[in-house]
Amino acid sequence: MASTAAVLVAAGDFNPLLPKTAEIIVGIVAFGLLYYLLSKFVFPMFEKAYAERTAAIEGGIAKAEAAQAEANAALEQYKAQLAEARAEAAHIRDEAREQGKAIVDELTAEARDTAARITAHGEEQLVAERQQVVTQLRGEIGRLAVELAERVVGESLADEERQRRVVDRFLAELEQSQNGTSA
């Protein structure tokens, strides 16, 4: 093999590093034609796709920024509504406490009034019952005193006026004896 290359080099025309002139011309024409076709049809499609993609990305970024701004506005509105709801809830709780206190005060006053009425009614009943018992006891004591006086005196005290005087005198003496011993 080395002998073939040496023969060709000796011939002087052939250089393996340099192509033939016809090949260079065909290569340049083919390159020009290929460049023309690429620049006329393919590169514009790439440019169009690149521009669309850039617009889509920029539009997506703008949409994302708008969505972020809208989300921030909604968050601020939510926070404001939440603060307002909390303030209203606190106001309602305060009103409920005040109403509860007023109801308790009203019920307490009503209970005091009812207790006072019951106590007054009870005292009236006690006074009436005491008066009734005193009246019954006076009658019973009077009857017993008349019987006792009839036995002691030995005469009949059928006269009502006489009975009343005897009973009144007996009760007066009885009250004096009680007042004298308790003092």
List the chain domain ranges: 18-178
Tell me the C-alpha distance between 53 and 41, whole Å: 19
φ, ψ of residue 4 to 5 degrees: the values are -70, -40
- pLDDT tens figures, 134-159: 788 877 777 777 677 677 766 666 66
Please classify residue 138 by burial: count the beta carbons closer than 10 Å to its beta carbon, then call 0-12 exposed, 13-18 middle and 19+ buried: middle
In this predicted structure, the answer to whether residue 9 has a pLDDT above a threshold of 60 is no
**Separation of first and last alpha carbons in the chain:** 167
Cβ atoms of residues 183 and 163 within 8 Å: no
Q: What CA–CA distance (Å, rounded) separates 183 from 18?
A: 161
Residue 131 has pLDDT above 80, yes or no: yes
- The structure tokens listed for 58 are 């920029």
Specify the pTM.
0.38
**Over 60: is that where the pLDDT of 3 sits?**
no
Reading the block at residue 139, the tokens are 């009658």
* Higher pLDDT, residue 11 or 138: 138
Q: Looking at residues 26-42, what average pLDDT do you find?
A: 95
Is residue 130 within 8 Å of 105, Cβ to Cβ?
A: no
pLDDT band at 183 (very low <50, low <70, confident <90, very high): low
